[in-house]
Amino acid sequence: MLRVCVCVSGGGTNLQAVMDAVDAGTITNAQIVRVISNNKGAFALERARGRGIDAVSVSPKDYGDREQFNEALLRCVDDAEPDLIVLAGFLVVLPPMMIRKYEGRIINIHPALIPSFCGKGYYGLKVHEAVLSRGVKITGATVHFVDEGTDTGPIILQKAVEVLPDDTPEVLQRRVMEQAEWVILPQAVNMIANGLL
Ligand code: GAR
């Protein structure tokens, strides 16, 4: 059974998609052992607790400097003894120490088709704002392994989504989530849990 630790910062709809897929049996051989948020108020934590999953926050505000926060975050991850770490809207730059320790065992969901609209400054709604202002007609989402760059690790899955003429960033974000993110993130977890990668 693959032990999965999910890191979140906000609403947690991608976490929800993974939890639902575990319950529905479309993800097999995996269990979510811990959900970690850098944000105490993240609704994602409530979603996890509602399912009886261990949900904890590690906030930079509680530590004197970044080094101490990084150490606390890594300790919190280590304590869960994960086989896989899923970044599901986790808006924290991971400590390099953590990336090295869990090399090949951290995946991230990004709300665009990498290598477009990715890298520093491209997260959440900002990605969809940039897509609309550039006028591209196709966007989507990507699941990739995490390396020490920003959105540069090997790509696991991608799914394209159409941009429609009257889209606002919010409307487009929702369509990308529904049609791409909530599909490919659970799919990638299932592939890893079943040795299909
Ligand atoms: C998702 O759209 C995810 O792809 C994005 O943040 C959102 C989190 O939503 N992540 C990034 O932009 C990372 N670069 P959620 O909390 O509802 O899953």
Question: What is the pLDDT confidence band of residue 159, given thresholds at 50, 70 and 90?
Answer: very high
Phi, psi angles (nearest 5°) of residue 13? -70, -30
- Residue 185: Cβ-neighbour burial (10 angstroms; 0-12, 13-18, 19+): buried
Task: Convert the pLDDT of each residue in 16-53 to its tens digit.
Answer: 999 999 999 999 999 999 999 999 999 999 999 999 99
Task: Convert the pLDDT of each residue in 91-143 to its tens digit.
Answer: 999 999 999 999 999 999 999 999 999 999 999 999 999 999 999 999 999 99
Q: Is 89 in the pocket of ligand 1 (CB under 6 A)?
A: yes
Q: Is 169 in the pocket of ligand 1 (CB under 6 A)?
A: no
Tell whether pTM > 0.95: yes
- Whose alpha carbon is nearest atom 6 of ligand 1? 89
User: Which listed residue (15, 17, 99, 110) is catalytic?
Assistant: 110
Q: Say what the pLDDT of residue 36 is.
A: 98
Q: Is 124 in the pocket of ligand 1 (CB under 6 A)?
A: yes
Contact (CB, 8 A) for 128 and 169: yes
With left for phi above 0 and alpha for psi between -120 and 50, is residue 28 left, alpha or beta? beta
- Whose alpha carbon is nearest atom 10 of ligand 1? 89
144 is catalytic: no
**Could you tell me the two tokens for 80?**
């869960």
pLDDT (mean) for 68-78: 98
